[in-house]
Amino acid sequence: MTRTIAVFGAGTGLGSSVARLFGRDGYRVALVARDRARLGTLAAELAAEGIEATAFAADLSRPDEIPALVKEIGPIDVVEYAPIATEGFIPAAELRADTVRRLLDLHLLSFIEVVHAVLPGMVERGDGAILLGQGVSATHPRPGMSGPGPAMAAARNYVLSLHAELKDQGVYAGVLHIGAMVTGSAGYRAMTGGQFDLGIDISGIPTVDPDDLAAAFRDLMTGRDRAELQVPETLAF
C-alpha cells in the first residue's frame, strides 16, 4: 500500500524539497498551503517527475478547519508541518495579545489539531511520523527577535512530549530547528529582495539548501534516536 506524506506549508523551498525527497521514496504527497495556483504548479511539476501529488488549498492559521482538511486528505503516514508566518520579528516589549494569538494559531494550535486528527490512525497501525520544522528563535531567544519564537517554543515543548509518549507505539515525533535562510523559498526571496523586513541585519545569516533540510527530516524519522536537530549546529548570528 502506498504511504502518504502531508506537507503542511508547501512552498518553493523546504516544502518542495520534502515533497520531492519523500515522493522519490515512493510516498504519495498531499500539498497543503493557501496559494491554490502555486500548489497546482508544484503538483504538476511533481507529477512530471513521476510523483503522485495532490493539492489542498487551506489556511493553516484557522485551527477549526483542520479536522475537515485532514479528513479530505485521507490516511496520513507522515506529517511535515513547517508553515511560515507573514509577520517579521517583534521586540518582546512590543508584543500584544492579538499578534501572539495569530502566531499561536499558525505555529501551535493548527499543528495540534493536525496531530490530533492523524494520531489515532498512526497508533492503530503502529507506524507513523510527525515532523515539525521551525526557526531557532524557539530555542535561542534574541533581543528584538520575539513574536514567532514564543509560539514555536510551545510547539517544541509539545513535540518533545509527544516523542516521549509515542516512541514505544511505533510513532515518531521530532522537530528540526532552522537557523538559516532557506534558499529558493518565498521567504528567502522576500528577505533578500527587501519585501519582507525581519527587523534585523540579514547579512550575517547563513543560507541552507532545502534539500539538505529535507534529508535531515528523513534522517530524524528513520533514525528515531533523537527528538530534535538544529541546522546549522552552530549559529552564526
Question: In CATH, what number is assigned to the domain containing residue 68?
Answer: 3.40.50.720
pLDDT > 70? residue 231:
yes
Asked if residue 237 is part of any domain, the answer here is no
Which residues constitute the domain of residue 186?
Answer: 4-231
Taking a C-beta distance cutoff of 8 angstroms, is the pair 155, 133 a contact?
no
Asked if residue 42 is part of any domain, the answer here is yes
Q: Which of 36, 37, 29, 38 is nearest to 11 (CA)?
A: 38
Asked if residue 218 is part of any domain, the answer here is yes
What's the total number of domains in the chain? Answer: 1
pLDDT > 80? residue 2:
yes
- pTM for this entry: 0.92
Task: Work out the average pLDDT over 3-28.
Answer: 96
Asked if residue 236 is part of any domain, the answer here is no
pLDDT > 90? residue 179:
no
Asked if residue 203 is part of any domain, the answer here is yes
Asked if residue 134 is part of any domain, the answer here is yes
Note the pLDDT of residue 201: 61
pLDDT > 70? residue 196:
no
Asked if residue 163 is part of any domain, the answer here is yes
Note the pLDDT of residue 88: 73
Asked if residue 113 is part of any domain, the answer here is yes
Strands 78-81 and 128-135: parallel
